[in-house]
A and B are shown apart, each in its own frame.
Chain A
Amino acid sequence: MAIASTISISFTMIIFGLILMCFLSLFQASTKIGDQVELLVFLKDNVSAQDINGLVGTISNMEGVASVEYVSKHDAWEKFKKYFQNKINISDIKNPLPDTIKVRTKSPDYIAGLSKVISQFPQVDETRYPQQLLNTLNIMVQKITLIGSLLLIGFALASLVVISSTIKVSVLARREELEILELVGAEPNFIRMPYILEGSFIGFFSSLLAIFFFIFLSIFLSFTVVNINPPWSFFWPLNTSLWILMCFIIVFTGTFIGFLGSFISLRNVGKFSVTKDF
């Protein structure tokens, strides 16, 4: 029975893990995309080098700023020319580009606020950032979190039903033993404890099996899918901290569901030996 329970719970935890993995991949993608978003600060003409340095220093010290990069109008124009040298003739055009400061934030949430503050500086002509992309990302993250959480909770409940039914079969098979223990005066918790420990251990062990499956899956994918380019590289591979989080969630959920499933299926302990009135 323990083997059947372990196999059944392992499969359940694998499906649970796959949903969790999709959720974490989407979450990682949205975070990665968000991290790539920059706030571009265009400076007015004729701002002195001293003012620019001062401004870079001020922005660097602002809350939520991860990094600041100054690109002079000269460097920007050289880059532009290099990129378009064989495509259009730009040798006669005067450099139209402004001095620019590229600001990367710790989280996309900071961008709108920083843009508002930085645009007030006298040296700043205007600030730009992909407002629509950020809004879309924000909505996407919220939706992913909501749908992912609902799916995971739903599946955890389904797993609970599967596991408690599996354990219930094992309890029913030993009903006579449970009844004997009741008749000789065992407290319900004394009877339940070994089964609850067994259920928790089966949940824990099944989760470990599910994790082994994911380790093999990731090794297999790392060999078969060698060159991953954006946008897929945003999703896969998961970074180490998300892997650890995923393993932890699977082990915790599996063990907890094993514990809860046994507890639910043992709720009638204490009543087996008392015949109900007809």
Chain B
Amino acid sequence: MNPAIVFKNVSKIYHGQIFGLKEINLEVEKGDFVFIIGHSGAGKSTLLKLLYRALLPSSGEVYVNNMNLLKLKSKDIPVFRRTLGVVFQDVRLLPRKTAIENISLCLEMLGLSDREVKKRAYKSLELVKLSAKSRAFPNELSGGEQQRLAIARAISYYPTLLIADEPTGNIDLKTSWEIMSIFESLNRMGMTILITTHNPIIVSKMNKRVIQLKNGQVESDSLEPTPIVYEQI
């Protein structure tokens, strides 16, 4: 097998004494759909930040698509990040750009032609059913639409790995399901999906692999798609 993500004995210590993560070992295969769950402070965001190289581990090794992130040079970080699709917890859209511009700007970095940029940007918006709002600014979109726009931006690169940090954090259940169905269809297209969430209903009904973190350690890993009971979250 060829894993998309590997954590080998990864620890992250803040302020020299607070453990963000403690001796984490896990593998996510290509094409997997994985939920990371756990209470606030369990280490979910730390784990994701290590994946897109916003943090470095205090010890251990992190591999993404066979690339050792510890050996990644600063100048190579932008290129590496363009191989990932990341949906941030607080969506992080450019407030002074329209929906289509938010996506196009990222695609321009790939050095694509204007025509290709436009084509891909509209296609991404179509996938998240947001074509009608292409000229809207982020503050003119609802929470769910902003989240969908953030997903559209993340998938516009055609990444093989999509990471989403609490993508249903501030939105209602109906919109959450819409977003989950987008992730599911992307997964069916072959994309590896890694999502952190607090939402027990979604985790329970999606029936995917679930990794539970507690105090920076892996408390449980279902390894196989398993329905999960609410109490575990």
Contacts and interface: CB of A to CB of B under 8 A. Distances in A.
B77 A184 contact: no
Contacts of A45: none
B113 interface: no
A275 B153 CA distance: 23
Contacts, number: 55
Interface string B35-65: 0000000000000010011111010000000
A182 interface: yes
User: Which of A176, A181, A182, A278 has its CB near the most chain B CB atoms (within 10 A)?
Assistant: A278
Interface stretch (A185-193, A207-215, A254-262): A185-193
Contact of A186 (B53, B95, B109): B109
Given A190-B109, A277-B56, A277-B58, A184 B14 contact: no
Interface string A258-278: 000000000000100111011
Interface in A41-91: none
B82 A185 contact: yes
A274 B86 contact: no
B55 A275 contact: yes
A180 interface: yes
B55 A183 contact: no
Chain B contact patch, size range: 20 to 34
Contact of B54 (A176, A183, A187, A188): A183
Contacts of A177: 94-96
B209 to A, nearest CB: 26
Given A270-B74, A278-B15, A185 B106 contact: yes
Interface residues of A, number: 19
User: Which of A177, A184, A186, A273 has its CB near the most chain B CB atoms (within 10 A)?
Assistant: A184
Contacts of B94: 177, 180-181
Contact of A184 (B15, B95, B106): B106
A273 B54 CA distance: 6
Given A177-B94, A278-B14, A278-B15, A187 B78 contact: yes
A185 B56 CA distance: 17
Contact of B92 (A180, A186, A187, A270): A180
Interface string B78-115: 11111000101000111110000000011001000000
Contacts of A188: 78
Contacts of A278: 14-16
For the complex of A and B, the 9 pairs showing the least CB-CB separation, nearest first, are A185-B81, A185-B82, A278-B15, A278-B14, A185-B78, A180-B92, A187-B78, A184-B106, A186-B109
19 contacts: A177-B95, A179-B92, A182-B78, A183-B54, A183-B81, A183-B88, A183-B92, A184-B106, A185-B79, A185-B109, A185-B157, A187-B109, A188-B78, A270-B74, A274-B55, A274-B74, A274-B77, A275-B54, A278-B15
Given A185-B79, A185-B106, A275-B49, 11 more contacts: A181-B105, A183-B88, A184-B82, A184-B106, A185-B82, A185-B157, A187-B109, A190-B109, A274-B77, A275-B54, A278-B16
